[in-house]
Every structure is written in structure tokens, then in C-alpha cells.
Structure 1
Amino acid sequence: MPHAPTFPFPLLVGDIGGTNARFAMVDAPGVRLRVLTRAHTADYAGVAEAMLAATAHESVRPRSAILCGAGPVDGRTLTLTNAPWTIDGPALVAAGVVAEGLLLNDFEAQALALPAIPDAYLQRIGPDLPSHGPLVVLGPGTGLGIGALLHVDDRFVPVPSEACHIGFGPDGADEERWWPHLERARGRITTEAVMSGPGLVRVHKARAAADGRPTPALDGPGIVARALADRGGEEARTCRAFLRLVARFAGDIGITFVATGGVTLAGGILPRMRELIDPVEFRRVFEDKAPVDGLARRIGTRLVVEPEAVLEGLAAIGATPGRYVLEYGERLWSA
């Protein structure tokens, strides 16, 4: 196994999604990170331009970077799934943006961040259960991200997943009523097709079509805003249907990994819906996993309510890279 690197500081950490890009600077190992900017991905031609803009007013340039992005990693490159960026680590070095760095899939990074997330960034859903064993994180945003984390001999082993692209079907009479009206994504109904920002819109339109109502012209944030303003309206009913889907799938992923360390919900949508989450109903759906409902009841659930939480995890990797089992030899880029 290759030796873990030593990242030179200052370290730039970045969380890059299909919609937003967040950057923070860590001046030295163990020092509190400083959030620099929250930018729209579409505002920049590529990651180099976004990184240079984020650090333009810093007196000292970053020497290394650890970035995560919403797309698959291929060695030292990453292509965003829902935005026209390809992040090429060696190209960033050649352009003089940084001298060294590492790329991670966004939910690989979310999983690695789990041990470093401050309690203040979390909201528990249901009881505070003992947490020892595999951990899982999943979160609806522009897409749907899923990852797991194992703790072995005081080292953390991330397990990335593409379970966002598995097929998904209805459960119960209410879902069966509107499910046939769902718009397909790339010809399929997958977990991401219904549990994401676009998925929330698909669910809302399908419910309207099943009721014979006009198709609403709302995006995801608009649906959530109306739901919060009118808890008895159709948008609120859509959000509750969406939350039932999330609870059901979170329970499925929890028992898949026997995630007795807990299931953590993240992403850009659920924190906006936090006031709409009924912990009792969420846990009822989450735990409805006969014949292994006993296992599901042992798996805690919590919500990340601070979008910068993953940056804390990236900073922890930079400070103590030896604690994380990653293919540094294949993925590290340096001058």
C-alpha cells in the first residue's frame, strides 16, 4: 500500500456540485477552516477559474487542494454528471493553480466527512441510538448521492455507490395512484429520478396529473417554499410524499450495509424541508423492513443541516491523511 501523502498548507478544500461550488481555506493542520465563497457552477468556465476567483483576495495562495465533485472519479480526473465541467488534477498543477491535490466523488467525501461533522451541524431524526458499525450517507440535491464508511483498525474506508441509478417502484396505494404519471429520466424511473431536486418536481407533477389538476409550474425550491407557507396545501402533500420515499430508501440502504453506525441524510434539499419532517412518521417508514425490521430499529438517522459539513471532512483528510484508506498512488496529483 502506498504511503499516505503529506499535504502542504495552506490547503484549499472544495465541494463542487451540479449547481453550487463551495470553497474554504485551511491555513494549517488542525486550524479551523475559513469558508471563502459559495458560487454557482454555471458562472465559471471550469474549476480553475472558480478556484482562482475564490482565492483572489487571499494574501497567501493555496499550495494544495482536496476537491470533491458530483460525478465519477477516474484516477486524477472527475467529470461532473449534471454540469459541463471536467476536473483534471494534473492540468490544475500545470496551470499553477496548486502544486498538489486529490479528487474525491462527492458522496465518497460525504462518507469520509462523517466522523468529522460537528454535532452542531446535525439534527437527529428519532431516538439517539448507539452508533457503532458501518455508516451510510445519502442526500438528494441536483442528483442523489450515496456512500458508506467502514472503520477498520482506526482507519476509515470509504465505499462509493451508484445506487442512485437503480430502479425504484411504488409502495402502497397512494404511490401506485400517481406513479404511472411520473416522467421518466433517460427512459427509466430510478431512485435519483424521484429523490432529487428534479425528482421533487416530477413527483409534484405526477400527483397533479393523477388528480386531474393543471400541471404546476414550480421548481424544487418553489415547491418547498409553498409547502412551508401552507402546511395543508398540495405542495406540502408532495413534500410529505417525497419524504416518505426518502425514508423508505434510507431504510433500504441502511439494511443493505447493516449500517448500525447510522444513516446520515445530506444534500441540498432536505435541510430546507427540516420543518416538514415528522420524526415519528419518518422512523415508521424507515423501520418497515420485515423480516429485518429489528435491524432497522437499531439504525439511527440524522440530518446534516450545515452545507459546509463536507468541507470539514476534506480538511480532516488534509490534516491526517494516514487515517483514510484511499488509492493515493493512483489519485494524487503533484508537480
Structure 2
Amino acid sequence: MLFAHTYPRLLADVGGTNVRFALIRTPGARISDERNLVCADYPGLFEATKTYLDPLGVQPTWAAIGIATAIAGDFIKMTNHGWAFSQAELKTQLALRELSIINDFTALALSLPTLDDVELVKVGGGERNPDLPIALLGAGTGLGVSGLIPAHQPGEAPRWIPLQGEGGHVSFSPFNDKEDEILRILRREFGHVSAERLLSGPGLQNLYKALAELNSQPNENPSAADITQRAVAGTCTLCRETVDTFCAMLGSASANLAITLGARGGLYIGGGIVPRLGDYFANSPFRRRFEQKGRFSNYLAAVPSFVIVAKNPALRGTAAALDALATRQA
């Protein structure tokens, strides 16, 4: 079944900073017409979508949107951006027959089975078990968390259930005395300190600020991009300490997720920060911290970790979500 009545299909991946659009024009066609827009340039998702669609002269029939926020009911309000809308109203505005809205990291999780080896960079661990759960997280404007739970038995064709949650907002868990002090500093400002307060672009800035205070150094208020660039270039000792601490904390958060899910199928890292670090990340404290888990250190040492370097992979996940929806409705 090709489900011709569901095409053209509109795909979107909405982050806290950018929104990425694409189309699948006909059954069996590839994802095409990819375009990135800056969220801050538009008052809402409808206006950004119209800006994308109008020059193409295409009226989509079905659409799937992965968006960086919790999905709970018709009304959607982004966590790290000002966009808010009704799903039913957006469906009407865009004249869609079907609209599926899922968390952006749920969309990214759905893309994982489609990734080729060249779209992944392995950072330690053993081999993937294709029949066991997969963990996913990634730092960008926020901290996204998801995973895939197998719905198949060994030897069967793979079928996966994606997780839709808000794991980036769990309480930050310090690993050592230094991280205790960082938590104390951030608690003065935020009260509750989530993992996202440290493991994100704004989190890098929070971490830099806290380390400057601990080291009795001035806070120059650099952007997250400046911190990572200067750390990789080796031109700023405090920036390097910030990024190394970030990578270690990400290792702790990743290990907690992998143990929770029993993710012997691997840990995958997406988002906008880590893939840009390149070899710096591979040589960072990430993997050492990931495996520092007391009685479960050997368990985690066997779990492979991968950095996702594919271009806009979440769009593939939204396409997979529409395929699954069409199959369910058949």
C-alpha cells in the first residue's frame, strides 16, 4: 500500500533556535526541499511554515512535526522559545487532513534505525545488540532525551517503540565535590537545577559563570559558541575547563539513562553541541565518566556510544512517524 492520499507530506523539526522543513512529494519519493529557518524571525510556527511552503507552491495533505517541548493535549507551548499554538487550529490554518505532533527527540529516536555507519562516530564501548533498548540524548538550546524500546524478538524484523518524555528536566546529579559547588551556585539563581541548566547551550554559559566564581576569575559572559570554539582552539583555560566539565557531566547523565533503559543497544548523542566538538569530544572526559558507575562500571563499559553526524536526521523520524500513522489507519 502506497497511501497516495497522504501526499504531499510536510515534515518539520522545531528546535529552540531553528526550524527545519522538508517535503515528501509522492509515494516512494525521497525527502526533498529541505530548508532551515530561524525561529526568532517569525511570530509563530504557522508563519514560518507559510514562509517555507508559499515559494514551493505545494499544498501538503499530511504533516508531522517534531517540536522541542512536552506534548500534552491540544495546546503546545515551547519550553525554550515563545511559540505557542493549538494543534487543531494549526491543522485548519494549513488545510491539512492529518497533523501529527511529537517531541523533537522522539522524532530523532525514530530516525536511528535509518542511520548509516558513516553518519555515526563511535566513542568507546563494545558492539550494539540489535534486540535491546537504545538510549538517546542531546544538548542544544535544551537537553533532549528519548530512546527506542524493542517490540520484536531476536530473529524477527525490527520494530521499535519510541519514548516521548522530558528527561532533560530531571534534577541535576553532581558526581564530585566540584560539581556539588557548581550545583550550590546555580541553586541560588534557579532553585531547582535541572540537567538542562548545565547540559545545553545556556547551560554552558551557566557552567562557565559558576566555574569563574569558583576560580575567582572574571565572568566575560561569552556565548556558548565562543566557549566551545575557544576551548577547542586552546585559547581559553576557563573555556576548556567549562567544556571538559560539560562533557563529564554529559557522561554521568548518559550513564544514568543507559542504566535506566538497559540500553545495551547503544547510546546515541545528537543535538547541536557535541557533533561540532569533533575529536575534542572523543578525547574528553565523557567516556571515562560514563563508565564510572561503581558496581555497574563493567556493564556500562560494554555499551557503545555514538555521536550522530547526519544532516537533519529528525526529519527522517517525522517521515517514519507518518508511515506508522498511515499503517495504523489502513
TM-score above 0.5? yes
Measured after TM superposition, the shift of residue 304 of structure 1 is: 1.2
Contact 1:140 1:196 in 2 (8 A): yes
Alignment partner for residue 94 of structure 1, among 76, 92, 95? 92
Contact 2:234 2:240 in 1 (8 A): yes
Give ranges in structure 2 of 5+ residues lacking alignment. Answer: 153-157
Q: Which residue of 2 aligns with 1:244?
A: 248
Contact 2:70 2:166 in 1 (8 A): no
Return closer, same or farther for 1:228/1:260 CA change in 2, 3 Å cut-off.
same
1:121-167 superposed Cα distances (whole Å, 9 cap, x missing partner)? 22111245123301111111111111121121343212223222222
Alignment partner for residue 226 of structure 1, among 223, 230, 249? 230
| Alpha-carbon separation, structure 2, partners of 1:144 and 1:68 | 15
Contact 2:110 2:316 in 1 (8 A): no
The within-5 A match list for 1:119-268 is 119-127=117-125, 129-132=127-130, 133-153=132-152, 154-176=158-180, 178-182=182-186, 186-230=190-234, 233-268=237-272
What amino acid maps onto 1:273 in structure 2?
Answer: L
1:298-335 superposed Cα distances (whole Å, 9 cap, x missing partner)? 211001123501111112232344678xxx8xxxxxxx
Contact 2:244 2:285 in 1 (8 A): no
More helix per residue: 2
Contact 1:201 1:219 in 2 (8 A): yes
| Alpha-carbon separation, structure 2, partners of 1:86 and 1:177 | 36
1:8-63 superposed Cα distances (whole Å, 9 cap, x missing partner)? 11111101111111111112344221243211111111111111111122143222
TM-score, scaled relative to structure 1 = 0.88
| Alpha-carbon separation, structure 2, partners of 1:141 and 1:156 | 25
Return closer, same or farther for 1:249/1:232 CA change in 2, 3 Å cut-off.
same
| Alpha-carbon separation, structure 2, partners of 1:212 and 1:245 | 22
Measured after TM superposition, the shift of residue 231 of structure 1 is: 6.1
Return closer, same or farther for 1:257/1:195 CA change in 2, 3 Å cut-off.
same
Mean CA deviation greater in 78-87 or 278-287:
278-287
| Alpha-carbon separation, structure 1, partners of 2:241 and 2:216 | 16
| Alpha-carbon separation, structure 2, partners of 1:291 and 1:6 | 53
Q: Which residue of 2 aligns with 1:73?
A: 71
**Secondary structure of 1:14's aligned partner:** strand
| Alpha-carbon separation, structure 2, partners of 1:50 and 1:312 | 20
Contact 1:155 1:323 in 2 (8 A): no
Return closer, same or farther for 1:261/1:217 CA change in 2, 3 Å cut-off.
same
What amino acid maps onto 2:314 in structure 1?
Answer: V
The within-5 A match list for 1:6-155 is 8-127=6-125, 129-132=127-130, 133-153=132-152, 154-155=158-159
**Secondary structure of 2:54's aligned partner:** coil
Mean CA deviation greater in 312-321 or 295-304:
312-321
| Alpha-carbon separation, structure 2, partners of 1:203 and 1:280 | 16
1:45-102 superposed Cα distances (whole Å, 9 cap, x missing partner)? 1111111111122143222110011111124442211112124332123224433210
TM-score, scaled relative to structure 2 = 0.89
| Alpha-carbon separation, structure 1, partners of 2:5 and 2:241 | 48
| Alpha-carbon separation, structure 2, partners of 1:231 and 1:175 | 24
Mean CA deviation greater in 196-205 or 6-15:
6-15
| Alpha-carbon separation, structure 1, partners of 2:12 and 2:278 | 25
**Secondary structure of 1:48's aligned partner:** helix
Contact 1:260 1:299 in 2 (8 A): yes
Mean CA deviation greater in 283-292 or 62-71:
283-292
Alignment partner for residue 296 of structure 2, among 279, 282, 292? 292
Q: Which residue of 2 aligns with 1:332?
A: none
Paired residues in the alignment total 321
Give ranges in structure 1 of 5+ residues lacking alignment. Answer: 329-335
| Alpha-carbon separation, structure 2, partners of 1:178 and 1:320 | 44
| Alpha-carbon separation, structure 1, partners of 2:120 and 2:189 | 32
Contact 1:10 1:64 in 2 (8 A): yes
**Secondary structure of 1:160's aligned partner:** coil
